[in-house]
Structure 1
Amino acid sequence: MAGVDSWPITAAQLSGTFCEALFYGIYLVTFCSCVHTLSTTGGGQEERWRRLSEIRWMMVSVTMALFVICTFDVGIGLWLNFHAFIYSSDPEQAFIHVADWTTICRAVSQVTAMILGDTVLIYRCWIVYGRRWLVITPSLILLFGCVSVAVRLIDVWVEPSTQKTIVLNSNQLLAWVLAFFAITAMQNILTTSILVWRIWRVEKETEKYIYNGSIMVHQPRHLRRVMRVLAESGAFYSATAFTTFLVGVIRSNAVYPASDMALQAAGIAFNLILVRSSARRDQQFTVFDRNERMVFAEQRSAGSASLGPIDSVPGHSRGQDVELYMKAVNNVDNTFQSTGVTVTKIVVTS
């Protein structure tokens, strides 16, 4: 795999179809879990179908769009192999004919699926950060760059001046292919990192109030599981995109199976993130962000750098400090009650 001719395009296309089919099987498993999450609410004996007003239609639309794209790409890949090896007298010529409708459709489905997956990941980051646009600005810039590169890649693919018998790692396409997968990998690493950082910080800040000797709360470690799922799915998706970039750099035909797997990886990562991002958890992050800002504003108005012990704020009466402390306690209490966490005991020391 050191050069273009070291692995024939026929073998690369056939291997790509096989690898994509394997990843599509994984995708179908996660898709079923995703549909279950979107269509039901509650747990155990209280589980029920969602009413129409409770369904998150935007997520349903993206989920079904990715399902159609991933399924279509597998089907069109099988058809392309069938056409090349059964109906064509020269399979290699069938695969390198970029003007054929099958190759153009696969290129469009590739970039569309990955851009959709990137968009939802950025949306999750926006939710976790309390809908702050400034946080996701770098990710949005990379996303817009990815969209621009994708449009240019498809334009080069279909324009009449492009040589019609070329492969992905040819001079006319390679630069745009490399740019697309490089930007995708960078955007995913950046967004996943700041997303996991925020969830980790929310959990740590929560524990600071909960286990400060004043409040005892029974809290399942849901956020840690969310962090692990996000980190694993983000790393999985970024790894496939970066692998495609690397094999493109060395001009190997392995770019075909790598890109096929990257498309399915986008759907898998989306499903995993959606399964672990319920509407209740979205509300938890929103409420926490609101409470965080409110507590910070109260601290500034009281002239205190932190809540601390009751007698640690100089220049303020004991009653005022108790009232301020109880406001913060109630904010945290309300946050967890709204997300199903049980508060077992609250003690304010005098």
Structure 2
Amino acid sequence: MSIVIGIIYVMATISLAFSWSFTRYAFIKNGETFWTVYQALINHSRSLVATRVGMTVTSCIGTIFADATLIWRCFVLWGRRWTTIVPPIVLLICTITFKIIETHGRLHDNFEHTPWLMVYVSFAMATALWCTVLITYRLITSPLEKDGTEDGPSLYHRTVELFVESAIVYSVGLILYAVFVARTEWTYYYLEPVAEISGVHFRSISLRLILTGMFANRQLRPPSSWDAS
């Protein structure tokens, strides 16, 4: 988990470097007037193309590692049943594919809002929701060992386990982002760094919650405890 978080943060840093470089190109190198800045932002310059491609590549790598981790947790919690993870694997492949198509569309359509954006966001949301729902259902319906004192700690541990294992926060962020994208409002840009897959920062936060929760809550069950039916 620590290695995955590290990789995601490296990808986020590289993505930030691309964005920072293009911002400097538009506002510093071409900052003589408002018009020159505007032209730098919309023209198909080498800097803009490199930024789009670079951020797409880092986004896809971060997405693969983050979603693969979530899919793996679903796989383990469901007793390593392949039937539970085949759909999210297919959805993840579709997410990456449509992310590339969406970026290609922006490069050739003056970087405007493309219909592929909604398709790609939908697949990303479907992947997260599939794993989140299955993990949540598994945690709620599975028996939890009592600690021998009272029911309070068991309920507390169940709540913490449910939160850190299922990445609910990430799924909620994707749902909000999808709503704004579907309404084709420019306000969706405010949620893009938080919920869109190209903003891999939020995924790393979700994984950090899982890792931190495991260390903080000693009662979380090890993977071997889920092997039973």
Q: Indicate whether the TM-score tops 0.5.
A: yes
**Does the CA-based 8 Å contact 2:173-2:194 persist in structure 1?**
yes
CA distance in 2 between partners of 1:112 and 1:168 (Å): 24
1:284-323 equivalences under 5 Å are 284-290=222-228, 293=229
* Matched residue count: 212
1:138 aligned to 2:76?
Answer: no
Specify whether residues 176 and 287 from structure 1 end up closer, same or farther in structure 2 by C-alpha distance, changes over 3 A only.
same
Structure-2 residue corresponding to 1:275: 212
Task: Please tell me whether the aligned partners of residues 127 and 285 of structure 1 are also in contact (alpha carbons under 8 angstroms).
Answer: yes
Identity of aligned pairs, percent? 20
Cα distance in 2, alignment partners of residues 253 and 106 from structure 1? 20
TM-score, normalised via structure 1 length:
0.53
Is the CA contact 2:78–2:138 (under 8 Å) kept in the aligned structure 1?
Answer: yes
Q: Secondary structure at 2:111's aligned position in 1?
A: coil
Asked whether the equivalents of residues 42 and 111 of structure 2 are also in contact (C-alpha less than 8 Å), the reply is: yes
Tell me if 1:187 matches 2:127: yes
- Partners of 1:108 and 1:154 within 8 A in 2: no
- Contact 1:244-1:259 at 8 Å conserved across structures: yes
Contact 2:71/2:89, CA 8 A, preserved across alignment: yes
- Check whether the contact 2:71–2:85 (CA below 8 A) recurs between aligned residues: yes
How large is the RMSD of aligned CA atoms in angstroms? 2.8
Say whether residues 1:176 and 2:104 are aligned partners: no
* Residue ranges of structure 1 left out of the alignment (5+ in a row): 1-58, 211-215, 294-350
Cα deviations by residue, 1:202-245 (Å, 9 ceiling, x for unpaired):
2xx245xx6xxxxx8358533431102345x42x3223323333
For the pair shown, which has the larger CA radius of gyration, 1 or 2?
Answer: 1
Are the aligned partners of 1:80 and 1:102 in contact in 2 as well (CA < 8 Å)?
yes
2:71 aligns to what? Answer: 122
After superposition, the Cα gap between the structure-2 partners of 1:256 and 1:167, relative to the gap in structure 1 and judged at 3 Å, is farther
Structure 1, residues 109-140: CA drift from partner, whole Å, max 9, x if none?
A: 23332333222111111111121111222222
Cα displacement (A) at 1:191: 0.9
1:74 matched to 2:11? The reply is no
Show the counterpart of 1:91: 37
Structure 2 SS opposite 1:252: coil
Per-residue CA deviations over 1:225-283 (Å, capped at 9, x if unaligned) read 1102345x42x3223323333333333333433222221212211221233347x9887
Q: Aligned equivalents of 2:93 and 2:219: distance in 1?
A: 28
2:148, 2:192 → 1: CA distance? 47
CA distance in structure 2 between the partners assigned to 1:288 and 1:242 by the alignment: 29
- Contact 2:105 2:111 survives alignment (8 Å): no
2:178 maps to 1:245? yes
TM-score by structure 2 length? 0.77
Q: How far apart in 2 are the matches of 1:96 and 1:250? A: 23
- CA distance in 2 between counterparts of 1:224 and 1:104 reads 41
Partner AA of 2:91 in structure 1: L
1:287, distance to aligned residue in structure 2 (A): 3.1
The change in CA–CA distance for 1:287 and 1:237 in structure 2 (over 3 A counts) is: closer
Alpha-carbon shift at residue 180 of structure 1 (Å): 1.3
Task: Provide the rounded CA distance (Å) in 1 between the counterparts of 2:43 and 2:170.
Answer: 29
**Compared CA separation, residues 73 and 66, structure 1 to 2 (3 A):** same
2:140 pairs with 1:200? yes
CA distance in 1, matches of 2:121, 2:219: 31
**What pairs up with 1:17-56 in 2 under 5 angstroms?**
none
Q: Within the alignment, does 1:266 sit opposite 2:186 as a pair?
A: no
Partner of 2:148: 217
